[in-house]
Structure 1
């Protein structure tokens, strides 16, 4: 049974705040393991002022960060991880397959594939519609 986590609850789970909180909603598919996150990409995003004013494109590093934030919500929504802070430990095998522009709805499918102690690995794919925009693996460390 899935659980929907809205923007207000995401703010209670993640330490991120504007302008660095990128996730609008997360559906937990499997507690602590799998979920689907959503980001409505609007022309009002601060990074479009410089990336690129004539042809706005969401930066790849922000797409990776958004995928990682979905992974963090999936993990930190479990009682045993509440209040902890996730940090990037690595970014592996990421590929970008399509640009993400204002007006797109980014859907991230993320799975925590390994967790040993405070170190873990997640895999994520970002979609616009049915097209893969980006995919890859990230490593994280959790600190209390």
Structure 2
């Protein structure tokens, strides 16, 4: 019964994230693993202390409860562990950016500084200050957002550096 309640809660959360997922994935080209299934499988990996993606994919191959929770059919094909890892890494990609401000704190431009993972993103101060000097900014705001640039999330058109 608890598993059923957990599935309902996860369904509600993923429904709220649906517009973001729709924007992230292209509808053309080769289909990838749906982001909802990636998140559900990652949640199972954490909750059941499954040590690797290879083991998780093996569990999904024969555990019907896991298949149901992730949203796979009983006889559906299971992903390759490397495909799962690559798709999960793409889903968990972060962007580090700066907003350049003028002396009245108006936004001059948006500058994507680095793209990294959830655990690490390399930003060199020299590059940040160089772009700030070129745009004659008097202030900087550092942004660290999941997957989408801030100008896309808030629907504001900003000049890109």
TM-score, normalised relative to structure 1: 0.28
Larger gyration radius, structure 1 or structure 2: 2
Greater percentage in strand: 1
> Larger RCO: Structure 1 or Structure 2 (Cα < 8 Å, ≥ 6 residues apart)?
1
